[in-house]
Structure 1
Amino acid sequence: MTLREYLTSKTFFGQLFLAFIITIAVGFLLLQYLDFSTNHGEEIAVPNLAKMSTEQAEEVLDDADLDYVVLDTVDFNPEFPKFSVVQQDPAPGEKVKSDRKIYLKINSGGYSTIRMPELVEKTLRNAESTLQSAGLTLGSLTYKPYIGKDMVLEVKCNGKTVKAGEKILKGSKIDLVLGDGSGGFEDEEDTQEPIDSLP
């Protein structure tokens, strides 16, 4: 039998059909195995762990067949209990497979201390930017006579004067005493007697 006759014979087409059926069957079995080995369709919604202690979070994640890793302790956030979960990844509600690790960031136990930055003789705008960068909050503003308008003259915390370099709690409210822009040459001229009145 020649090659041309074989390629047009019933035997060749029968074997070709058989090979096609075997390929389909192997592909189907492989997909079934992958579905089984990867728990296809058995996804778990990540629970919301915000404000939970690590012990509470561990218990909830164990019940959901999930694991966790504590990445870091972040600066104290007063809106969350001490040592509670502040951030998590993946986010609550996301679908994951069982045994997936949930990465947690934990609130610290309180404000850390920092050194008061130098604010005296800075403008209000610069002082406000410096306070924000240092993790401090701008409090009340009071003014007193000084030629430099909005120039920082004094820095206070809880009613006490604070100097640059002193240790204070991060997150503290800082009150500023500023110059009101008075005390310039015009004010000095106003205090002089008119020339006509001089003897």
Structure 2
Amino acid sequence: MSILKFLKSKTFFKQIAFAIIGLVIFVFFLKFWLGVTTNHDQKIQVPDLHKLTITEAERTLKELNLDFIVIDSASYNPTYPKKSVIEQNPEEGDFVKEKRKIYLTLNPSKYRDITIPDLNGRTKRQAISELQAIGFIVGTDFTYVNDIGKDVVRGLRHKDKIINANDKLPKNSIIELVLGDGERN
């Protein structure tokens, strides 16, 4: 039997018809199965979790049959309560399906600690710019000690306590400079 005769035969057309019918049945079955297993018509609106504590957020999400994962805390934000939600993904108002994980970023309980650099012997201007660059606030109440170098850093203070190089303080702490007065002994 030649190929041309086979392509014109009833057997060939029956096989093509079976293949098309099988494909259509498979597509309809797949569409039905995916609709059932993926909860296609289900929508849950994500609530606003900002400024909620982790226990309040957990309670709210459990009521909606949603899960959550806490992501590493971001920078401290003083406008939010300590250990409260400052970011969420997906955002509030988005629609998700049940058991979806909501990723939460929490506000740390304080600013992160920063190591104090060794500023002894630097000028006042160098010390101020370096302290501000790493996140400290430099106070304007300078203390002057008897030293030959005028406006040369001879020490640092925080809340009237002497601090040394390599000590750690929270970011945004106020540091007062102890400077030389430029007079000889």
TM-score w.r.t. the length of structure 2 is 0.69
Structure 1 residue 120 displacement after superposition: 2.8
The answer on whether the counterparts of 2:84 and 2:107 sit within 8 Å (CA) in structure 1 is yes
Structure 1 residue 53 displacement after superposition: 0.8
The aligned length equals 180
Aligned CA distance change for structure 1 residues 20 and 113 (closer, same or farther; 3 Å): closer
171-180 or 33-42: bigger deviation: 171-180
> What pairs with 1:3-42 in structure 2 (closer than 5 Å)?
4-42=4-42
Q: For the pair shown, which has the larger CA radius of gyration, 1 or 2?
A: 1
Aligned CA distance change for structure 1 residues 120 and 17 (closer, same or farther; 3 Å): same
Structure 1 residue runs of 5 or longer lacking an equivalent are 184-199
Letter of the aligned partner of 2:174 in structure 1?
K
Structure 1 residue 56 displacement after superposition: 1.2
The answer on whether the counterparts of 1:155 and 1:177 sit within 8 Å (CA) in structure 2 is yes
Q: Secondary structure at the match of 1:102?
A: strand
Aligned CA distance change for structure 1 residues 44 and 161 (closer, same or farther; 3 Å): same
The answer on whether the counterparts of 2:131 and 2:138 sit within 8 Å (CA) in structure 1 is no
> What pairs with 1:122-141 in structure 2 (closer than 5 Å)?
122-123=122-123, 124-125=125-126, 127-130=128-131, 132-133=133-134, 135-140=135-140
Aligned CA distance change for structure 1 residues 150 and 105 (closer, same or farther; 3 Å): farther
Structure 1 residue 154 displacement after superposition: 4.1
Q: Secondary structure at the match of 1:171?
A: coil
Structure 1 residue 33 displacement after superposition: 1.1
3-12 or 57-66: bigger deviation: 3-12
What is aligned with 2:99? 99
The answer on whether the counterparts of 2:80 and 2:107 sit within 8 Å (CA) in structure 1 is yes
Q: C-alpha root-mean-square deviation of aligned residues, in Å?
A: 3.8
Q: Secondary structure at the match of 1:119?
A: coil
Q: Secondary structure at the match of 1:140?
A: coil
Structure 1 residue 19 displacement after superposition: 2.0
Structure 2 residue runs of 5 or longer lacking an equivalent are none
What is aligned with 2:157? 156
Q: Secondary structure at the match of 2:21?
A: helix
Q: Secondary structure at the match of 2:65?
A: coil
Letter of the aligned partner of 1:172 in structure 2?
S
Distance 2:122 2:29 in 1: 74
Letter of the aligned partner of 2:23 in structure 1?
T
1:65-97, Cα deviation, whole Å (9 max, x unpaired): 211123445665322112212333444444443
Q: What is the identity percentage for the equivalent residue pairs of Structure 1 and Structure 2?
A: 37
1:37-76, Cα deviation, whole Å (9 max, x unpaired): 1223534443332210112101221233211123445665
Q: Secondary structure at the match of 1:162?
A: strand
